[in-house]
Amino acid sequence: MKITETSGSCCSCSSTSGDQTCGCAENSSRPTAIKTTTDIITFSDRLDHLLARLGWRRSEHRVEPGLYRLGDPDADSPVFASANYSLSFDALRSPLAGIDAWILVLETKGINVWCAAGKGTFGTDELVHRIESSDLAGIVSHRTIIVPQLGAPGVSCQQVARRTKFTVEYGPVRADDLPEYLKTHTATPAMRRVEFSLRDRLVLTPVEFMHAALPALAAAAALWFLAGPVASLAAISAVLAGTVLFPLLLPVLPTRDFSTKGMILGMIVSLPFAYVFCTYPNLPVWAGVLSAAAVFLLITPVISYLALNFTGCTPFTSRTGVKKEIFSYVKVMAGMAALGVISGIILGVSRMLGVI
């Protein structure tokens, strides 16, 4: 992404003004430089997107906050607000090919619009600050700024209007709809509808898996030596089910709570491993049953926990709902996992003593 800066003096001082001291350096409210960007997504941008999806140096995928010039905008050109997460910024500028516009980038700590709105970084105070620090009122003749619909939870349009005289206009959910939206500045019901398609869910799985990959490999390696290859495979399967299979099956899994959805999936995934351990040759019946129980008690809460973690990626959960789930089910998960570990310890000690 090519970004250049243009700047101008905040006063009429020049190098020929003799001994007169310029007050620019003393003016703390000096407008920030206007940067220039394009609608072209380069190979470097796409590589950045890939690394972000994989969770590589997650906090570094950001652009500098401030006002950006897209194309050749004038005083009548539309103004869009964006997060400084590079994927959010690129998703906004890319569909605006051939449209001259201003993009006001907020400091959201490299977090996307929706999550930043929930955290408060894509919020009223930051929007007001960027409007004032960029001297937006002196650049455009109108007083309208288009904010992404998913940023609405963090922005109070009444406060923005009172403090800056700018009217907040909530644009469509998807930036791809902006060219059509700009024709009438009216969003259709389809533009307002938040979708969470298979593709949307699939694109989130790499970063979820990468976060759990290292602990999964460590657990798999330890279980290989302690309980054999089947136990090692069970650990890897649990993580894959929680980070990849769960998002794909999300709409078809019963119940509303993510934790119970994960528990149901965990029970299904644990069944073949429980059967293998339960029917292991020359194993006493009690040991087979305890082995199956240990598998069930360990795999189920792992997948349930990973499923609960996915609530932050979906458009149909709320902060209060997530908190309720955490308080309702985390203790259950911890209890199941503890019983599973105890069962494993009993089996391990019995094996060391030659009982099994």
What integer pLDDT is reported at residue 27 of this predicted model? 40
Residue 267's closest CA among 292, 237, 300?
300
Q: Which of 133, 163, 194 is the last residue of a domain?
A: 194
In eight-state DSSP terms, residue 84 is S
Q: pLDDT tens, position by position, for the chain (356 residues)?
A: 545 555 443 333 333 334 444 444 334 455 668 999 999 999 999 999 889 888 888 788 999 999 999 999 999 999 999 999 999 999 999 999 999 999 999 999 998 998 888 888 999 999 999 999 999 999 999 999 999 999 998 999 999 999 999 999 999 999 999 999 999 999 999 999 988 888 888 888 888 888 888 899 999 999 998 888 999 999 999 999 999 999 999 999 998 889 999 999 999 999 999 999 888 888 888 998 999 999 999 999 999 999 988 887 777 666 677 788 888 899 999 999 999 999 999 998 988 888 87
Residue 65 burial by Cβ neighbours in a 10 Å radius (0-12, 13-18, 19+): buried
Judgement on whether residues 184 and 88 belong to the same structural domain of the protein: yes
Judgement on whether residues 190 and 225 belong to the same structural domain of the protein: no
Which amino acid makes up residue 198?
L
What integer pLDDT is reported at residue 16 of this predicted model? 37
Give per-residue pLDDT as tens, 148-158.
Answer: 999 998 999 99
Judgement on whether residues 185 and 227 belong to the same structural domain of the protein: no
Q: Which of 172, 194, 216 is the last residue of a domain?
A: 194
Judgement on whether residues 243 and 144 belong to the same structural domain of the protein: no
In a domain, 14, yes or no: no
Judgement on whether residues 126 and 263 belong to the same structural domain of the protein: no
Neighbouring residues of 330: CB distance < 8 A, sequence distance ≥ 6: 305, 308
Q: Which of 194, 215, 246 is the last residue of a domain?
A: 194
Judgement on whether residues 168 and 47 belong to the same structural domain of the protein: yes
Judgement on whether residues 293 and 224 belong to the same structural domain of the protein: yes
In a domain, 299, yes or no: yes
What integer pLDDT is reported at residue 148 of this predicted model? 94
How many structural domains is the chain composed of?
A: 2
CATH number at residue 97: 3.40.50.11600
Please give the Cα distance from 188 to 6 (Å, whole number): 37
In a domain, 96, yes or no: yes
Backbone angles phi, psi at 43, to 5 degrees: -60, -40
Q: Which domain holds residue 55?
A: 24-194
> What Å distances lie between residue 224 and 208, 230, 233, CA to CA?
24, 8, 8
In a domain, 82, yes or no: yes
What integer pLDDT is reported at residue 21 of this predicted model? 40
Judgement on whether residues 100 and 216 belong to the same structural domain of the protein: no
Judgement on whether residues 206 and 344 belong to the same structural domain of the protein: yes
Residue 93 burial by Cβ neighbours in a 10 Å radius (0-12, 13-18, 19+): buried
What integer pLDDT is reported at residue 11 of this predicted model? 38
What integer pLDDT is reported at residue 326 of this predicted model? 86
Judgement on whether residues 124 and 176 belong to the same structural domain of the protein: yes
Total-model pTM: 0.74
What integer pLDDT is reported at residue 53 of this predicted model? 86
In a domain, 207, yes or no: yes
Judgement on whether residues 188 and 211 belong to the same structural domain of the protein: no
What integer pLDDT is reported at residue 25 of this predicted model? 39
What integer pLDDT is reported at residue 17 of this predicted model? 38
Judgement on whether residues 162 and 212 belong to the same structural domain of the protein: no
In eight-state DSSP terms, residue 176 is G
In a domain, 7, yes or no: no
In a domain, 58, yes or no: yes
In a domain, 338, yes or no: yes
Q: From start to end of the chain, where are the E strands?
A: 4-6, 34-37, 66-70, 79-83, 101-106, 144-147, 167-170
Give the strand pairing for 34-37 and 4-6.
antiparallel
Please give the Cα distance from 33 to 120 (Å, whole number): 25
Q: What angle, 0 to 180 degrees and rounded to 10, lies between the N-to-C axes of helices 157-164 and 124-133? A: 30
